[in-house]
């Protein structure tokens, strides 16, 4: 697929993703009606199994990550999350541990048999991140970082693409198109809340976007209720709502001591609250003919370990 996606003039809008002119887009469901299944280690995302990715917002040290990994693994999480490069609103806020933190996260993932997901912020970080992570996360602020998206199109690892804070649904899918157009078809979309006029919550979770993306695109859709609400008490009900809306999984922040967290502790679940969420999910998933992901057989169990 060559040429620009938009019109002839710079001020012409790109065609609507749901419109007739874009059925040739790689991201459109018409190009793969059966849907895409993404593989991260032994875990499959996008099939009948619902996948939960959980862990701290930021890697702060080996003890913190070990406690978080042990807690989410015992509760039934499938993928360990943790940020080592942190894009922060303030330049004075904790920016992450960088490469040492990545090694800590990777070791915890190996110990507990979970693939890991972490955010990549620029193309220069890709060689390091590809070597140690199983899923490369693109944060909301980088959804339209086109140099990064093009580099991820050549990456050998799955990509989770978060929706931008004020991005339209069309812009979100066209950002994913950059990655697919580069040759990497292992892409997931992540709804993480959008910025609206509402001030009570950190963001506004757009559940209609989840159902829309599942209908318009063949890519798996993940929901991040932690950033979407910023309120721990709302993470459980919004997680259940996401499952009912057709999401393929969740991305949730869990910290052993949220009150001591160096990043986003106010929106992290305690291990106990996370266990409650995991216990509640199966009933809702069953109502929409889904279930928590589980290995298919002994070989897959061994790979997960």
Name the band, by pLDDT with cuts 50, 70 and 90, for residue 174: very high
Cα distance between residue 9 and residue 64, in whole Å: 52
Angle at CA 292, nearest 5°, toward 201 and 267?
Answer: 20
Cα distance between residue 58 and residue 38, in whole Å: 24
Cα distance between residue 136 and residue 159, in whole Å: 5
Angle between helix 62-75 and helix 271-287 axes, rounded to 10 deg: 30
Domain 41-84+95-304 classification at class level? alpha beta
Q: Which residue has the higher pLDDT, 8 or 287?
A: 287
Strands (E), the chain: 38-40, 43-45, 49-55, 79-81, 116-119, 135-138, 159-162, 187-191, 221-223, 249-253, 291-292
User: How does pLDDT run across 40-52, given as a tens digit for each residue?
Assistant: 999 999 999 999 9
Work out the percent of the chain whose per-residue pLDDT is above 90.
77
Cα distance between residue 51 and residue 67, in whole Å: 21
Name the band, by pLDDT with cuts 50, 70 and 90, for residue 305: very low
Angle at CA 190, nearest 5°, toward 186 and 195?
Answer: 150
pLDDT for the residue 98: 83
**pTM of the entire predicted model:** 0.88
> What's the chain's average pLDDT?
89
- How large is the C-alpha radius of gyration of the chain? 18
Residues 6+ apart with CB under 8 A from 20: none
Which of 290, 22, 249 shows the shortest CA–CA distance to 158?
Answer: 249
């Amino acid at each position: 697929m060559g040429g620009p996606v938009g019109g002839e003039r710079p001020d012409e809008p790109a065609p609507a993703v749901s419109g007739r002119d874009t059925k040739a887009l790689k991201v459109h469901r018409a190009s793969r009606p059966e849907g895409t299944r993404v593989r991260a280690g032994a875990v499959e995302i996008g099939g009948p199994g619902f996948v939960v990715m959980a862990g701290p917002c930021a890697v702060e040290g080996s003890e913190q990550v070990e406690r978080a990994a042990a807690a989410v693994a015992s509760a039934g999480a499938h993928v360990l999350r943790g940020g080592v490069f942190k894009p922060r609103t303030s330049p004075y806020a904790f920016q992450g541990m960088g490469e040492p933190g990545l090694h800590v996260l990777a070791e915890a993932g190996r110990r507990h048999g979970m693939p890991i997901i972490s955010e990549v912020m620029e193309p220069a970080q890709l060689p390091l991140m590809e070597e140690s992570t199983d899923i490369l996360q693109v944060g909301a602020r980088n959804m339209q970082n086109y140099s990064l998206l093009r580099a991820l199109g050549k990456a050998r690892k799955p990509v989770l693409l978060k929706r931008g804070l004020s991005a339209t649904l069309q812009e979100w899918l066209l950002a994913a198109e950059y990655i697919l157009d580069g040759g990497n078809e292992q892409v997931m979309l992540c709804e993480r809340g959008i910025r609206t006029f509402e001030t009570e919550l950190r963001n506004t979770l757009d559940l209609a976007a989840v159902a829309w993306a599942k209908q318009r695109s063949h890519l798996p859709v993940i929901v991040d209720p932690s950033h979407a609400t910023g309120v721990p008490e709302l993470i459980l009900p919004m997680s259940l709502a996401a499952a009912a809306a057709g999401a393929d999984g969740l991305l949730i922040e869990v910290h052993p001591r949220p009150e001591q967290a160096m990043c986003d502790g106010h929106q992290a679940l305690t291990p106990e609250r996370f266990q409650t969420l995991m216990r509640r999910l199966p009933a809702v998933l069953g109502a929409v003919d889904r279930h928590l992901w589980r290995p298919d057989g002994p070989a897959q169990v061994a790979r997960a370990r």
